[in-house]
Structure 1
Amino acid sequence: MKNNPSTKFRTGNVLVTGGAGFIGSHLVDELIKLGYGVAVVDDLSTGKIENINSKAKFIKFDLGSKLAGEKLQPILKNIDHVFHLAAIPRIQYCLEHSNTCHSANVNGALNLLNSCVKNKHIKKFIHISSCMVYGASDVLTVSEDNPVKPKTIYGVQKHMQELYLDLFTRYFNIPSVVLRYFGVYGTKRHSESGSYPNVTAAFSRDKRIKNKLTIYGDGEQSRDFVHVFDAVRAAIMAMRSGFCKGEVFNIGGGEPITINQIATYYKCPIEYKKARVDDVRHCTADITKAKKLLKWQPKISFEKGIKGYLNE
């Protein structure tokens, strides 16, 4: 009975969309370890079925499809908490296939929200967003109050998800939280080309295929990284917190790390190429709000995390 989320658990039943992906599958593992009943919805467009914990109930379908609402109703019947991670997070792919990605990313979120409205027992809707909504900021460190100016189709679609969630929270009283993840990394389950292929995964691919890293620009552009275990812990703390309805939180490491610094851990030659037009120069998370309201802060330093990832 443990793998049937229709059976009430003492800790509750949880739906994780995108639970076959990098972050989602780690979240599912941790929720099951904590005693939650977990249902996973994923269309496997970027996730892998082997990532899904055998104790979770898996339902394969596309949240952006016209039949999504009909399929979601029986799944949500006994669900207490919803984590929405399902998305197509490939920046270039979203640019080239904007309609397809709009259906998956925006319509998918809207279908899920409409279904949650009909299930008034949902205690918390935790939406996983992205630092991509900020785009090119005028400051090195961005807080949740910084202007949202996405520079990519994917960033625009993540922002649209947030806007819909804000409206549904205000009009339909859905208790929600938005977590804007920065560069999540940390285990070999991290796809080199699928979901969230940030620089750590891209460098791993470069080293494996050609034993040489490619860096666009001078390498002094900086990013913020958070280990997947810390990211998952933030999501669960957001679910359990009773003081953050309607809030938005940055979830990152809170310190800038240059691309050149990251490259030193890979110990192989570097090829520098012309900077890409849409590259953001600097983006670091101000995590003050998460520390204060969620009582969350990262536990795994980038040095420890990247060494563990490369030695796995």
Structure 2
Amino acid sequence: MGSIDNRLAALAGSHVFLTGGAGLIGRQVRAQLLEAGASVSVLDNLSAADRDTYALCGVNLDSPDLAVGSVHDTRLVAEHIARADYVVHAAAHSTVAGCLADPDTAFASNIAGTETVLRAAARSPRLKRLVFLSSAQVYGHGSASRTHEQVFTEDAPAQPLNLYASAKLWGEAQTRFLLNHAGVDYTVLRPFSVYGPGQIPKPKAFNWAIAQLSMYAAIGDPLPLNHGGRQVRDFLHVTDAATGILHALTAPAASRQTLNLGAGRTTSIRQVAEMIQGHFPHAKITDGASSAQDPLGGRADITAMAEALGWEPKMTVADGIADFVTWLHDTPAAIPGWLREEGGAQRLAAWRAVDDTARAARS
């Protein structure tokens, strides 16, 4: 058995508390933890979808290891962390549009909830490590986003551009402050563009390119590309994201580190559209809105991640898209009704409206 397998095997018999465990990443983390022989308790408020959607994504809402509740419920969080050897804090009120539309809920979840989890972790004599899931959005657009592809290193300046990213940056700082003071181990991870089966777009959330473009193709709509699809992203399949998180729980060199979690390679949105078109030959690629909220983008520098975790992602984007399309063919009901009803002109108008709202929030 290799060293990577040994690290995952080290989780066997441990108990892991996972917040946000009904979400895209959380579901895969839970599955891999169980496969590694760990026991898992999940806390999720189940606000991201309805019961039918969770069922489509394989979430058993009657599972005895699922507690339905809030991460800022002090008593509930403390009870779970008191029994945990490890904590993965993935819960968040996610998407930029979601935080703009409901800043009170975003604050309660992303700030107050994170504080509750961290304070309980700081009091635990049993806890071996907490992994805090931040976001690559803390980097913002980078230094030359409109003309050059970025390579984001962990020491790059943080330039959050929205409420979601600002809360994640605060969570990073608070993790270091509280857990260093308490002598509790931690790792901060910054995931890049995570995608995969079970990712279902939300209204006015336009940053899940693979899921959205695949669903447009599946219903016969054109694939609209901002800026001609020149933007690039570092796409990370959810199975790789989860495996990286598991390694971060136990890798000695990840202790008290802040690490990118990405594939370390870029794929343009046009390349994504063309790969999707290969699965839906009748899909047409068309020009979309030109949005200031859609930067040229870049990739993670994964040098520190690979050294600390002793691991690198395996899934190619082409294989990951094929995986998503297969799931979509098998689960057509996953395409949300609002997306089916939305016309191309309405879609582009909504994109521009979100862009205008984001500009106003920054001014």
* TM-score, normalised by the number of residues in structure 1: 0.90
* Aligned match for 1:291, one of 285, 288, 306: 306
Is the 8 Å Cα contact of residues 89 and 196 (structure 1) preserved in structure 2?
no
Query: In 2, Cα distance between the equivalents of 1:186 and 1:96?
Result: 26
Residue 166, structure 1, aligned to residue 176, structure 2:
yes
Unaligned stretches of 5+ in structure 1?
A: 1-8
Shift of residue 196, structure 1, vs aligned partner: 9.6
Query: In 2, Cα distance between the equivalents of 1:55 and 1:45?
Result: 17
The C-alpha deviation readout for 1:139-198, integer Å capped at 9, x for no partner, is 6111101111011211111111111111112211221101111111121x1122289961
- The alpha-carbon distance between structure 1 residues 262 and 170, as it changes in their structure 2 partners (threshold 3 A), is same
- 1:76 alignment counterpart: 81
Shift of residue 137, structure 1, vs aligned partner: 0.7
Residue 90, structure 1, aligned to residue 95, structure 2:
yes
* Aligned match for 2:47, one of 28, 45, 48: 45
Residue 120, structure 1, aligned to residue 125, structure 2:
yes
Is the 8 Å Cα contact of residues 227 and 288 (structure 2) preserved in structure 1?
yes
Shift of residue 285, structure 1, vs aligned partner: 0.6
Shift of residue 44, structure 1, vs aligned partner: 0.4
Within a 5 Å distance, the mapping from 1:180-259 to structure 2 comes to: 180-187=190-197, 189-193=198-202, 198-259=208-269
> Which 4+ runs in 1 deviate beyond 4 A?
53-56, 194-197
The C-alpha deviation readout for 1:79-125, integer Å capped at 9, x for no partner, is 10000111111111211222221111111111111111222211110
Shift of residue 49, structure 1, vs aligned partner: 4.6
User: What is the aligned length?
Assistant: 300
Amino acid at match of 2:67: I
Is the 8 Å Cα contact of residues 169 and 246 (structure 1) preserved in structure 2?
no
- 1:153 alignment counterpart: 163
Query: In 2, Cα distance between the equivalents of 1:243 and 1:289?
Result: 10
- The alpha-carbon distance between structure 1 residues 26 and 44, as it changes in their structure 2 partners (threshold 3 A), is same
- 2:339 alignment counterpart: none
Query: In 2, Cα distance between the equivalents of 1:77 and 1:150?
Result: 33
Shift of residue 288, structure 1, vs aligned partner: 0.5
Shift of residue 310, structure 1, vs aligned partner: 1.3
- 1:3 alignment counterpart: none
Shift of residue 305, structure 1, vs aligned partner: 1.4
Which structure shows the higher helix fraction? 2
Is the 8 Å Cα contact of residues 69 and 114 (structure 1) preserved in structure 2?
no
The C-alpha deviation readout for 1:10-67, integer Å capped at 9, x for no partner, is 5210011011011101110111111111000000011565333676611111113xxx
- 1:4 alignment counterpart: none
Shift of residue 73, structure 1, vs aligned partner: 2.1
Query: In 2, Cα distance between the equivalents of 1:37 and 1:150?
Result: 35
Shift of residue 203, structure 1, vs aligned partner: 1.0
- 2:70 alignment counterpart: 62
Unaligned stretches of 5+ in structure 2?
A: 1-10, 145-149, 278-282, 328-363
Is the 8 Å Cα contact of residues 123 and 182 (structure 2) preserved in structure 1?
no
Question: What is the root-mean-square deviation in Å for CA atoms of aligned residues?
Answer: 2.0
Amino acid at match of 2:314: K
The C-alpha deviation readout for 1:243-268, integer Å capped at 9, x for no partner, is 22210111111111111110002221
